[in-house]
Structure 1
């Protein structure tokens, strides 16, 4: 039995794209927690030892190899930062955050060049603006998302990623050009719709539609180098984010599970880039949000 489960686990890891999404978004549900399938191999290893089954131990090489192929690189060191690298921070601050000033200080402790925030509401927004202003004199806010920068920002505009089924005001995307000493970079900040787990399965149609709109905007962007920072409510393995992951580079090192903050199970706060490499990504200290902040290093090509 452990050998059969080992083969099944290896199959799910290696061929997760084959799992259909037509019923309850089963494929996306699997991909949301895909790295955790490695725990199944650990449990099966213990069972194989208890049963003293050489066949099961050999079979465990399959899921182990599949997991290392998919995620082993994320465990490697991040390497040395380059002279032209940018440090960026992404954080869904939560519209119920009881300590916006403390949250802002936690983010600035990482000394990033850019800070992207979601769920900005008054009066907390004014606190973020006041606290971040000394170190980040350039900022733009559209709806409930914002970008703070050490470098000048121009050409800021609202980014329409609103699904058709959502009625009423809903502004969760912006785009601005960051003028760094080396080059101009188009920075996108987005907060995609939440997904819900229901009896019928995963409800992600709004998130998927919003990801399509965001992917189209990135594809049409004329500035060569693009950085996307956002709460995308999905992992980079989730096929629902394929309109973005097929066009952009994702983090090469680090897991940085960011949600939920009390017991992080997945990284749904993402940093992606076009014509740039996303190096090591890590989580920062917990704030008053239900998400952990993530920080990443960007190396323009």
Structure 2
């Protein structure tokens, strides 16, 4: 079993261990999907990625993204963490942007000073949630239905459903009921019924929003520390409907003792970019 170059990268933070980690195998050639999945499950992280030679002529590399139990067509923090690892290992883009090939197609990644940012992929599904979904979400979050002040489908690969609460304090105080939200997964969520929550954040820091993300995990409901795909879809919804400015910073991971910061910007061409810092925590070789 060969040794392969490997990095573990903490994403959406410049300070190691305050963001969301991803395992990056920098040479996934020759590995089967089963081997990639087995390694991902072993890492006990939310995602692991495998860098491969590109198949599309415009791509710099191909990325396969796995979470426990399944492969994902796209995920945000693995995209940024893998690009960080690829560049750190000597990768050079063909053009001004890095172009990642993955399950949703080609994703552009740009450098913003000491941060990387990806162009939000198109939403696969948008628009308001059904009343029955909202009733379940409100009950599962333990909030009155009237405290959900806005809502939308936020499906950009992962099937996020987004709801906006009244303020950040209410978001941070949530104690979700896994049994109630698990019912949502069975009927209307795929894969695995993820629910995203965003609320306006007030305070002296630079953050406009507080974000949390809940989804069914291996042992009940899990919470993701910092979620690029969700923040990308939230930005498309919130900016598109005037609920957020064209440039803002969202905080995520506070409730888990993390300090994730997601930088959001809609550029002059209308494209939305999701960025953040990354920090390499482990650099070496791994046997896969």
Q: TM-score, normalised by structure 1?
A: 0.28
Q: Which has the higher contact order (CA 8 A, sep 6+)?
A: 2
Greater CA radius of gyration, 1 or 2?
A: 1
> Which structure features the higher share of helix residues?
1
